[in-house]
């Protein structure tokens, strides 16, 4: 654990890259529904691809190694759908009029009351999913960096690339719902901060008890959460603005970007 300081720094840098996504989102005019639909679709593509191609697969491999091929497979599947159930329950518990006093009517976005209300919920739920997703990522970066910074640096770069579109996923709907760049950046910033929080939790609490089985279960559950957010919140929100094809093009582009970014670190 001789590189603890550097490990925390690398984890912080990876998490705060969500702010870059927010900055990119702010270049668009808030009446640009084409940008909104494309961005939401792009973010859904990123989250679905990384969940099904990277996170769930990695969780399966870890659990199969620890528990055996059949038991590990079913443990990963149960954790995956457990994550979906977890976020679905949260979705039901949050009232449909979440933060109605923050929604503002904006030109070019109609009807503003219901759609902006839904966008606020979309942004908040996405921030929650990203934050939960970033906790085990932060733990992974911290553990790797504390052992060998050379191993951790490419992991940090890959996670930072992943976090940029996640920042867009959080900030765009909140920006459109509230008209406030400050609020959008705040939610995006806070969701990214969960990465160093994951490192801190790992250092103070989980490090003595963490094993591959628990890590695999966490990863599989996060994959389920991200898939649910994408299909239940991001894609429906994009279609509400009458830009169906743009949202699909954005989804495909998001998947392609993630495939390329993952391939760069083989």
For the stretch 182-208, pLDDT in tens is 888 888 888 888 888 888 877 787 677
Report CA dihedral (13, 15, 19, 24) to the nearest 10 degrees.
Answer: 90
Task: Answer yes or no: is pLDDT of 8 > 70.
Answer: yes
How many other C-beta atoms can be found within 10 angstroms of the C-beta atom of residue 157?
A: 17
For position 97, what pLDDT does the model report? Answer: 44
Task: Answer yes or no: is pLDDT of 72 > 90.
Answer: yes
Mean pLDDT of 37-65: 86
Task: Answer yes or no: is pLDDT of 145 > 90.
Answer: no
What are the pLDDT digits (tens) for 204-255?
876 777 788 887 887 788 888 888 888 887 788 777 765 678 888 889 998 9
Q: Which of 18-22, 151-155, 164-168 has the lowest mean pLDDT?
A: 151-155
For position 148, what pLDDT does the model report? Answer: 64
Task: Answer yes or no: is pLDDT of 84 > 80.
Answer: yes
For position 128, what pLDDT does the model report? Answer: 73
Contacts of residue 98, defined as CB under 8 A and 6 or more positions apart, other chains included, come to: 117, 120, 121, 124
pLDDT range class, residue 63, cuts 50, 70, 90: very high
What are the pLDDT digits (tens) for 36-48?
778 778 878 888 8
pLDDT range class, residue 32, cuts 50, 70, 90: low
Residue with tokens 């599989």: 220
Distance CA 143, CA 156 (A): 12
Give the residue extent of every domain in the chain. Answer: 4-263
Q: What is the 3-state secondary structure (H, E, C) of the chain?
A: CCCHHHHHHHHHHHHHCHHHHHHHHCCCCCCCHHHHHHHHHHHHHHHHHHHHHHHHHHHHHHHHHHHCHHHHHHHHHHHHHHHHHHHHHHHHHCCCCCCHHHCCCCCCCCCHHHHHHHHHHHHHHHHHHHHHHHHHHHHHHHHHHHHCHHHHHHHHHHHHHHHHHHHHHHHHHHHHHHCCHHHHHHHHHHHHHHHHHHHHHHHHHHCCCCCHHHHHHHHHHHHHHHHHHHHHHHHHHHHCCCCHHHHHHHHHHHHHHHHHHHHCCC
Task: Answer yes or no: is pLDDT of 29 > 80.
Answer: no
Instruction: Report residue 193 as tokens.
Output: 């901060």
pTM: 0.64
For position 101, what pLDDT does the model report? Answer: 31
For position 69, what pLDDT does the model report? Answer: 93
Name the packing angle between helices 4-16 and 149-178 (round to 10°). 30
pLDDT range class, residue 262, cuts 50, 70, 90: confident
pLDDT: which is higher, 157 or 52: 52
What are the pLDDT digits (tens) for 104-119?
343 444 434 445 566 7
Task: Answer yes or no: is pLDDT of 154 > 60.
Answer: yes
pLDDT: which is higher, 83 or 263: 83
Distance CA 218, CA 199 (A): 15
pLDDT: which is higher, 160 or 252: 252
pLDDT range class, residue 14, cuts 50, 70, 90: confident
């Amino acid at each position: 654990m001789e590189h603890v300081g550097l490990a925390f720094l690398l984890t912080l840098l990876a998490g705060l890259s969500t702010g870059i996504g927010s900055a990119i989102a702010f270049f668009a005019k808030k009446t640009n529904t084409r940008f909104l639909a494309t961005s939401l679709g792009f973010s859904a593509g990123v989250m679905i691809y990384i969940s099904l191609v990277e996170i769930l697969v990695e969780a399966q491999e870890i659990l199969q190694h620890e528990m055996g091929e059949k038991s590990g497979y079913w443990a990963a599947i149960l954790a995956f759908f457990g994550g979906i159930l977890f976020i679905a329950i949260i979705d039901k518990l949050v009232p449909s009029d979440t933060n109605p006093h923050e929604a503002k009517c904006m030109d070019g976005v109609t009807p503003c009351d219901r759609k902006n209300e839904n966008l606020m919920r979309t942004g908040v739920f996405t921030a929650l999913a990203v934050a939960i997703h970033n906790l085990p990522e932060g733990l992974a970066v911290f553990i790797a960096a504390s052992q060998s910074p050379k191993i951790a640096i490419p992991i940090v770069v890959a996670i930072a690339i992943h976090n940029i579109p996640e920042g867009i996923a959080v900030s765009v709907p909140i920006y459109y719902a509230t008209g406030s760049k400050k609020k959008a950046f705040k939610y995006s910033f806070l969701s990214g901060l969960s990465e160093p929080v994951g490192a801190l939790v790992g250092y103070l609490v989980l490090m003595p008890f963490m094993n591959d089985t628990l890590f695999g279960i966490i990863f599989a559950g996060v994959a389920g959460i991200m898939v649910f957010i994408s299909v239940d919140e991001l894609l429906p929100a994009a279609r509400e603005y009458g830009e169906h094809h743009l949202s699909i093009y954005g989804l495909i582009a998001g998947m392609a970007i993630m495939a390329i970014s993952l391939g760069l670190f083989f």
